[in-house]
């Protein structure tokens, strides 16, 4: 039995994962590590491959791809954990479009440096989130965060862009387009550990990591092992005010903006009083027009290979 199982999404980063695989193999071979590679070939396949791998006595599972690939691997591991599997460590080689999970967890964005972590033996416990509602009435796990509203629609629009518009420029282009598509904030009821807030919200981000969309630092103070979610709530603002928020959120200085609330919580319930909720978790669509959601944090649920 090999010690490391590498799960590769060959379409991640618009094909970058497949192109970079020879380089990844060369580096890992040079480290003298014993591994095998499994490829995903359809959405959700990474969940299945991971769950099966958790019962095959690997010491480490490596997600090669972007945030979507990592999300599938996390969901596979958590499903296996529910079935009492002795879980391996999770590792990530970031070759996707946003790589927000790996950034927030302190994993090097340089591919060689990320590969070298596999040989150093270091790991730490991290929290994992769980969201229930929309297209997932039984729930879905997440590592980085859940977004409601504006940033979800940005993700929808970024996914429509041609391959030559990629990375941060893709998200910025999509964000500018979204200003004209999604500008009336739904009236939302938030129950955060029993504290109730009712207000129009153009955006609600619930973060275990720190960044979304490759550049938007919704939760610069977030810690991934503190057992809490960091919330960024934006009220109704004008289109021009949204544009003004871009540089603040990208630099993580938006907390001082009067339209922003920065809160923390462990168990969060969200419902739409007026309007609907477009929702994503780690960039994966939870619903296009939902009406209710529950989000919880599971303290120190997985071990992550890290510096």
- Spell out the domain ranges in the chain: 4-122, 130-300
pLDDT value at residue 293 = 97
Are the C-beta atoms of 170 and 254 separated by less than 8 Å? no
Please say whether the beta carbons of 126 and 141 come within 8 A. Answer: no
130-300 is classed in which CATH architecture? Sandwich (2.60)
- Are 207 and 187 in contact by the 8 Å Cβ rule? The answer is no
| Angle of CA points 15, 16, 21, to nearest 5° | 110
In sequence order, which residues have a C-beta less than 8 Å from that of residue 112 and are 6 or more positions away? 27
Q: Which residues have a Cβ under 8 Å from the Cβ of 167 and sit 6 or more positions away?
A: 97, 98, 214
Residue 213, φ and ψ in degrees, nearest 5: 65, 20
pLDDT at residue 170, rounded to an integer:
79
Q: Where are the alpha helices (DSSP H) in the chain?
A: 12-30, 45-53, 67-82, 100-104, 111-120, 150-159, 167-178, 239-251
- Model pLDDT, residue 97: 81
Residue from 86, 87, 83 nearest 73 by CA = 87
Structure tokens at 267: 């168990």
pLDDT in tens, 251-265: 999 999 999 999 999
Q: Which long-range contacts (CB under 8 A, 24 or more apart) does 56-59 make?
A: 56/1, 56/5, 57/1, 58/1, 58/2, 58/3, 58/4, 58/5, 58/88, 59/3, 59/4, 59/88, 59/89
C-alpha to C-alpha distance for 146 and 155, rounded to whole angstroms: 12
Residue 24, both tokens: 């990844």
Between CA 152 and CA 241 the distance in angstroms is 18
Instruction: Enumerate residues 6+ apart whose C-beta is below 8 A from 116.
Output: 27, 31
Distance of CA 160 to the CA centre of its chain: 19
Q: Contact at 8 Å (CB) between 116 and 287?
A: no
Edge-first strand order for the sheet with 284-290 is 260-265, 229-234, 203-207, 145-149, 277-281, 284-290
* 8-state DSSP, 216: B
Place of tokens 């009492």: 84
CATH code 3.40.50.10330 for 4-122: yes
Residue 188 near residue 199, CB atoms below 8 Å: yes
Give residue 101's pLDDT: 97
Non-local (6+) Cβ contacts of 304 within 8 A are 89, 90, 91, 92, 105, 107, 123, 124, 125, 126
CA 218, CA 251: separation in Å to the nearest integer? 9
Q: Is 239 exposed, middle or buried (0-12, 13-18, 19+ CB in 10 A)?
A: exposed
- Ranges of residues in the chain with a pLDDT under 70 are 1, 164
Check if 4-122 and 130-300 are the same fold. no
């Amino acid at each position: 039995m090999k010690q490391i199982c590498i799960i590769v999404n060959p379409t991640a980063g618009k094909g970058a994962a497949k192109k970079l695989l020879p380089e990844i193999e060369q580096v890992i071979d040079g480290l003298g590590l014993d591994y095998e590679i499994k490829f995903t070939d359809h959405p959700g396949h990474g969940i299945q491959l991971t769950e099966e791998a958790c019962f095959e006595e690997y010491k480490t599972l490596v997600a090669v791809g972007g945030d979507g690939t990592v999300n599938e691997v996390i969901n596979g591991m958590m499903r296996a954990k529910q079935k009492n599997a002795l879980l391996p460590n999770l590792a990530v080689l970031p070759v996707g479009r946003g790589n927000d999970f790996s950034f927030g967890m302190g994993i090097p964005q340089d591919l060689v440096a990320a590969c070298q972590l596999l040989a150093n033996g270091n790991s730490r416990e991290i929290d994992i989130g769980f969201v229930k509602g929309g297209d997932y009435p039984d729930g879905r796990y997440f590592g980085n965060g859940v977004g409601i509203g504006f940033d979800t629609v940005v993700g929808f629009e970024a996914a429509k862009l041609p391959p030559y518009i990629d990375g941060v420029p893709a998200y910025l282009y999509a964000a500018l387009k979204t200003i004209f598509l999604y500008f009336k904030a739904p009236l939302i009821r938030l129950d955060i550990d029993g504290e109730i807030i009712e207000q129009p919200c153009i955006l609600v981000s619930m973060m275990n990591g720190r960044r979304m969309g490759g550049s938007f630092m919704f939760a610069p103070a977030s810690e991934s092992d503190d057992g809490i979610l960091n919330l960024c709530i934006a009220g109704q603002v004008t289109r021009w005010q949204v544009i003004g928020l871009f540089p603040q959120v990208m630099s993580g200085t938006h907390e001082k903006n009067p339209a922003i609330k920065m809160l923390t919580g462990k168990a969060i319930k969200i419902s739409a009083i007026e309007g609907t909720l477009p929702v994503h978790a780690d960039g994966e669509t939870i619903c296009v027009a939902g009406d209710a959601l529950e989000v919880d944090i599971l303290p120190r649920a997985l071990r992550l290979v890290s510096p």
